[in-house]
């Protein structure tokens, strides 16, 4: 309390007459700051700014490098210092694997070992048709086959359904599988070849017969 604030004159006389006033006694206490307590000091402003900077930097860093947390991009355990190997080119389905799977369609007649069923279903193993010209084999599978036909020296006269609902890739794969299994030695068949045969024989809407196969081999057009 400095001198100017001290009661003086009448006020001083009045107060002295009244004795100490409670309010006056408390005045100095009010002016004092609360006693500092351990652990409650306000955080220094440099620390506050440091925290803000770290959070800001973290946000910026994630924004720049997190790859939007896409599972294709985000790698939480990158090999430090090792450049990631370039992504492997999408593996082509092995035609033999796909062909083996498509062959499930054929097994009920031609059998798992490609031997067929005597007198009913001709063998694919050792068959001149299965191993012969790829375009003829493709046409058989695309359109089906019926009527008398000789396969590996034996005569058959049954009906084989058309498989044109399968894709070029599936048919090429199953033919490739057939032509390279059970001792067969036909060349692999490409989907493009199946597509070409599908196109050139597209107007046939019946099963092929032995004479169609002869015409195909000679490169002559098939009758309707
Ligand atoms: C419903 C029974 C059946 C199914 C299923 C079947 N075929 Fe046939 N396949 C035959 C018959 C029967 C013949 C002979 C047709 C004839 O007598 O004119 C034949 C003939 C063939 C021929 C020419 C003759 C030979 O033995 O080489 C090939 C090639 C052939 N089939 C491949 C296939 C393939 C590939 C599949 C599967 C996509 C398949 N077949 C599914 C019954 C079937």
The larger pLDDT score, comparing residue 136 to residue 29, is at 136
Ligand 1 centre from 146 Cα, in Å?
9
Count the Cβ atoms, other than its own, within 10 Å of residue 130.
25
Per-residue confidence band for 100, with pLDDT thresholds at 50, 70 and 90: very high
Find the mean pLDDT for residues 76-102.
Answer: 73
In the predicted model, what is the mean pLDDT of residues 43-63? 94
Q: Pick the residue whose CA is nearest to atom 38 on ligand 1.
A: 106
pLDDT of residue 134: 94
In short, whether 177's Cβ falls inside 6 Å of ligand 1 is no
Cβ(110)–Cβ(142) below 8 Å: no
pLDDT band at 4 (very low <50, low <70, confident <90, very high): low
165 C-alpha to center of ligand 1: Å? 15
Q: What burial letters (b/e) apply to 43-58, b meaning 16+ CB within 10 Å? A: eeeeeeeeeeeeeeee
Measuring CA to CA, which residue among 117, 110, 108, 93 is closest to residue 184? Answer: 110
* Distance in angstroms (rounded) separating the CA atoms of residues 158 and 108: 14
Residues 195 and 169: their CA atoms lie apart, in Å, by 9
Give residue 85's pLDDT: 67
Report which of residues 73 and 180 the model is more confident about: 180
Angle at 127 between CA 121 and CA 130, to 5 degrees: 95
Mean pLDDT of the chain: 86
Note the pLDDT tens digit of each residue in 105-149: 999 999 999 999 999 999 999 999 999 999 999 999 999 999 999
The response to whether residue 111 sits with its C-beta less than 6 Å from ligand 1 reads no
Tell me the C-alpha distance between 207 and 166, whole Å.
16
Which atom of ligand 1 lies closest to the CA of 123? 26
Distance CA 41, CA 48 (A): 13
With a 6 Å cutoff on the Cβ, whether 182 touches ligand 1 is: no
d(CA 131, ligand 1 centre) in Å: 13
CA distance 99 to 103: 6
Q: Which of 218, 213, 222 is nearest to 130 (CA)?
A: 213
């Amino acid at each position: 309390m400095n001198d100017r604030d001290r009661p003086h004159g009448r006020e001083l006389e009045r107060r002295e007459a009244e004795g100490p006033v409670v309010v006056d006694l408390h005045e100095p206490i009010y002016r004092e700051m609360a006693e500092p307590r351990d652990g409650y000091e306000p955080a220094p402003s440099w620390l506050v700014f440091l925290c803000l900077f770290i959070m800001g930097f973290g946000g910026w860093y994630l924004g720049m490098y997190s790859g939007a947390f896409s599972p294709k991009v985000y790698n939480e355990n990158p090999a430090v210092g090792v450049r990631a190997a370039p992504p492997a080119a999408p593996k082509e389905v092995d035609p033999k694997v796909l062909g083996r799977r498509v062959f499930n369609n054929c097994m009920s007649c031609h059998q798992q070992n490609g031997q067929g069923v005597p007198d009913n279903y001709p063998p694919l193993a050792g068959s001149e048709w299965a191993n012969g010209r790829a375009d003829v084999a493709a046409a058989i599978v695309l359109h089906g086959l019926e009527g008398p036909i000789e396969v590996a020296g034996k005569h058959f006269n049954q009906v084989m359904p058309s498989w044109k609902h399968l894709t070029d890739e599936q048919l090429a794969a199953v033919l490739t599988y057939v032509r390279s299994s059970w001792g067969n030695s036909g060349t692999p068949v490409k989907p493009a070849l199946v597509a070409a045969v599908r196109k050139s024989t597209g107007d046939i809407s019946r099963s092929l017969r032995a004479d169609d196969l002869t015409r195909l081999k000679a490169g002559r057009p098939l009758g309707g």
